[in-house]
Amino acid sequence: MKEYHTGQIRNIALVSHNGAGKTTLVERLLFDTGVTTRMGSVQNGTAAMDFDEEEMNRNSSVSTAIAPIEWNKIKFNLLDTPGYIDFVGEVNSALKVAEGAVVLVEAVSGVEVGTEAVWQSAKNYNRPRLLVVNKMDRENVNVNRVISSINNNLDGNFINLQLPIGEGNTFTGVVDLINLETHTENGKKGSIPDDMADAIEEARVELVEVAAEGNDDLLMMYLEGEELSNEDIITGLKAAMHQGAAVPIVYCAPEKGIGVSALMDILGLIMPAPNE
């Protein structure tokens, strides 16, 4: 069995309202990393994570399942929790043993009752949180609407770590605001769209400000006009998340494989290792 140093491990709870796409996201990761030879479907009862007979009949998780995935030499233990509020005990158990939480919000529905419940649970356990706006390729997605739903219903200092390229049927990728590169279908990288230059510049300035505020040394550098490196931004953002002072937002469409590899790259950088 392969051994990993503590710094190479990330134990992360995936939490959300039912139907936000946690299991589908994990199925995509299992497929992309070669753990499975086909991508399972929750609706068809073929999801590897929903192996219990009751889960297959309900087309929904009823207990937490663990997906061990290696990504860029990091061992991720993803705890896929049930979304129904009846099983909130499973959510709390996962958050108790995980070092961080990924909260999924469905792009059309926005924040729902279950979202608020798991958000509060993650806060109670003082877990650094990253928010994923999921299923960005669905019809009737409106990014401004879902961001308003997040800001109006959840407490936190939300900051874009990515900007989506399009929405709904036109969602084709995300722009990484740290490395200033795009991630399109199946993790392909490309150049930044010309018509997004101003929005990207504005969003990156906001991200750098939040990162600087997470660390006194970085804040001093920022106030003195020094440019923060990508490593500085990651360090500051990670510190701000630990303090509960920042919640990064990313965007994803697992069924098309858009944003999934970028998400895993980010989790490896900003989520804490055990005992960190």
Q: List pLDDT tens digits, range 162-213.
A: 999 999 999 999 999 999 999 998 888 888 889 999 999 999 999 999 999 9
Q: What residues in the chain have per-residue pLDDT under 70?
A: 1, 40, 42-62
What whole-number distance in Å separates Cα of residue 110 and Cα of residue 170?
19
**Predicted local confidence at residue 57, as pLDDT:** 47
What whole-number distance in Å separates Cα of residue 81 and Cα of residue 66?
9
**Predicted local confidence at residue 179, as pLDDT:** 93
**Predicted local confidence at residue 190, as pLDDT:** 83
Spell out where 25-165 has E strands.
65-71, 74-80, 100-106, 129-134, 158-160, 162-165
What whole-number distance in Å separates Cα of residue 127 and Cα of residue 96?
9
Residue holding tokens 């390229």?
A: 165
What whole-number distance in Å separates Cα of residue 137 and Cα of residue 4?
36
**Predicted local confidence at residue 250, as pLDDT:** 98
Query: What DSSP element (H or E) covers 220?
Result: helix 216-223
What is the torsion angle, in degrees rounded to the nearest 10, for the CA atoms of residue 145, residue 147, residue 153 and residue 159?
-170
